[in-house]
């Protein structure tokens, strides 16, 4: 290993080199280096202890298993939550809303309409007794709405478990009361409209506090009151979306959709003016009677219904469920996209859906108008 077979001259060279002075580093440098060596060892022990202490109980061999377990638990939780959040998914769950045949829907809606009609007749007979009570101060009405909200929430919870197919008519008294209240609020919210003027004139006592109330809170209350959990099981997202749509809609439009409780029969011809040109126009009374029920429907139910039409608002692009307004719309279920059903009536024209995506469905695009069946434009 060592290369020491040196020649005599090499040895002489090494001895000569060894004879050179033996330089040493200064003592200060020695002390400095040794001190650093000691210090590093001392602090290194402390650092190791501190690192071990700071690392916590999940460091070391438990890091990976704990991390994996946490990731798995989180993933499963998220998947379960997503599945629960999409009860109306068209792809998987057994709770997927089945599109009922138009006849069943129609029957259910008809029975509900008939009951609602009876109740409204009773309401119209005694408007002076009920309306002033509703038209109290803003605080009182808020308290009432809070109580009714609680009741509605409990009812919604019960209804959430019911399948969509069980679209049973709601208890008429409650429904009518809600409609009545919504109508009153809507009237309060539109002081400048003709409807307001007429309604106020019919009231035995004016409600100054309510009249002075700004329209936005009234809209909110109206939106809350107009969405009772009577008709269908709906998701929280659908519910909130519907409420937003209602709140965002113009006040007068809502009023026209909530006029069922008021005695607005005299106004009906004015409302019908817009569709008077159509050869398949319905009677205004029928339109008004059906409005509240349609307002309560979810998008899914509205699409399946042959008595209500889901329409996209031109300005806000939101969807509103309204009653059928003509013979073309009556009997046409938007969810079926059946062009033949529509055009069976030669005066009707089928307009296919324009990038409409029903709630809970997975679509390529969305935000457009659903399929419609409308009267053909007259050729002058």
Partner 1 sequence: MRQVRGVNFVRSQHTPYDNASDEELMTHYSQGDAAAFEVLYHRKKSALYRYFVRQRCQVALAEEFAHEVWLRVINARQSYLPAAKFTTYLFQIAHNCLVDHFRKLSTSHEIDCDEQFIDGVAGNNADDPEALAGNMQLQRALLRLIQELPAEQREVFILKEEANLSIEEIADVIAENPETVKSRMRYAVKKLKQGLQEYRNR
Give the interface with partner 1 as residue ranges (CB under 8 A). 1-4, 9-10, 13-14, 16-26, 29-30, 32-34, 36-38, 40-42, 44-45
Closer to partner 1 by Cβ: residue 52 or 98: 52
Closer to partner 1 by Cβ: residue 30 or 354: 30
- Smallest distance from the beta carbon of 37 to partner 1, in angstroms? 5
Closer to partner 1 by Cβ: residue 21 or 91: 21
SS3 content of the chain, % helix, strand, coil (to 5): 60, 5, 35
Nearest-angstrom CA–CA distance, 11 and 17: 10
- Smallest distance from the beta carbon of 31 to partner 1, in angstroms? 11
Query: At 378, which helix (H) or strand (E)?
Result: none
**Would strands 319-323 and 348-351 be described as parallel, antiparallel, or unpaired?**
unpaired
Closer to partner 1 by Cβ: residue 3 or 205: 3
Nearest-angstrom CA–CA distance, 236 and 298: 11
Nearest-angstrom CA–CA distance, 190 and 193: 6
- Smallest distance from the beta carbon of 25 to partner 1, in angstroms? 5
Nearest-angstrom CA–CA distance, 160 and 150: 15
Nearest-angstrom CA–CA distance, 285 and 260: 9
b/e code 274-297 from CB counts within 10 Å (16+ = b): eeeebebbbebebbbbbbbbbbbb
Closer to partner 1 by Cβ: residue 14 or 77: 14
Closer to partner 1 by Cβ: residue 2 or 126: 2
Distances (CA, A) of 56 to 48, 49, 50: 13, 12, 10
- Smallest distance from the beta carbon of 33 to partner 1, in angstroms? 5
- Smallest distance from the beta carbon of 35 to partner 1, in angstroms? 10
CA angle 338, 340, 342 (to 5 degrees): 80
3-class DSSP state for residue 309? strand
Query: At 56, which helix (H) or strand (E)?
Result: none
Closer to partner 1 by Cβ: residue 53 or 380: 53
Residue 312: DSSP 8-state = E
Closer to partner 1 by Cβ: residue 23 or 315: 23
Residue 38: DSSP 8-state = H
Which tokens is 222 given?
């109206």
- Smallest distance from the beta carbon of 63 to partner 1, in angstroms? 21
- Smallest distance from the beta carbon of 57 to partner 1, in angstroms? 24
Residues 6+ apart with CB under 8 A from 270: 194
Closer to partner 1 by Cβ: residue 9 or 139: 9
Residue 231: DSSP 8-state = S
Nearest-angstrom CA–CA distance, 171 and 159: 13
- Smallest distance from the beta carbon of 41 to partner 1, in angstroms? 5
- Smallest distance from the beta carbon of 12 to partner 1, in angstroms? 8
Residue 5's Cα: distance from chain center in Å? 94
Nearest-angstrom CA–CA distance, 354 and 365: 9
Closer to partner 1 by Cβ: residue 16 or 54: 16
- Smallest distance from the beta carbon of 65 to partner 1, in angstroms? 27
């Amino acid at each position: 290993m060592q290369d020491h077979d040196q020649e005599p001259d090499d040895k002489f060279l090494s001895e000569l080199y060894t004879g050179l002075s033996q330089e040493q580093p200064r003592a200060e440098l020695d002390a400095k280096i040794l001190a650093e060596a000691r210090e590093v060892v001392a602090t290194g022990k402390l650092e190791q202890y501190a690192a071990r202490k700071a690392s916590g109980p999940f460091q070391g061999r438990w890091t990976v298993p704990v991390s994996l377990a946490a990731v798995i638990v989180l993933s499963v939780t998220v998947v379960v939550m997503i599945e629960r959040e999409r009860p109306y998914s068209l792809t998987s769950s057994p709770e997927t809303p089945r599109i009922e045949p138009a006849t069943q829907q129609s029957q259910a809606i008809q029975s509900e309409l008939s009951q609602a009609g009876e109740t409204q007749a009773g309401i119209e007979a005694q408007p002076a007794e009920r309306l002033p009570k509703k038209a109290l101060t803003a605080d009182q009405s808020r308290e009432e709405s809070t109580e009714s909200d609680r009741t509605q929430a409990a009812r919604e919870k019960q209804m959430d478990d019911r399948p969509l197919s069980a679209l049973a008519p709601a208890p008429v008294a409650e429904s009518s009361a809600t409609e009545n209240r919504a109508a009153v609020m809507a009237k309060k919210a539109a002081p400048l409209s003709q409807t307001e003027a007429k309604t106020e004139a019919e009231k035995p006592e004016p409600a100054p506090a309510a009249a002075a109330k700004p329209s936005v809170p009234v809209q909110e209350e109206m939106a809350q009151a107009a969405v009772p959990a009577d008709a269908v099981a709906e998701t929280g997202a659908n519910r909130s979306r519907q409420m937003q749509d209602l709140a965002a809609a113009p006040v007068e439009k809502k009023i026209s959709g909530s006029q069922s409780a008021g005695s607005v029969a005299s106004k009906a011809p004015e409302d019908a003016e817009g569709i008077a040109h159509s050869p398949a126009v319905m009677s205004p009374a029928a339109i008004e009677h059906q409005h509240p029920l349609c307002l309560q429907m979810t998008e899914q139910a509205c699409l399946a219904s042959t008595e209500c039409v889901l329409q996209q608002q031109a300005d806000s692009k939101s969807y509103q469920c309204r009653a059928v307004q003509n013979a073309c719309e009556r009997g046409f279920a938007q969810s079926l996209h059946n062009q033949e059903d529509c055009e069976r009536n030669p005066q009707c024209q089928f307009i296919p859906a324009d990038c409409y995506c029903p709630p809970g469905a997975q679509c390529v695009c969305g935000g457009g108008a659903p399929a419609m069946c409308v009267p053909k434009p007259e050729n002058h």
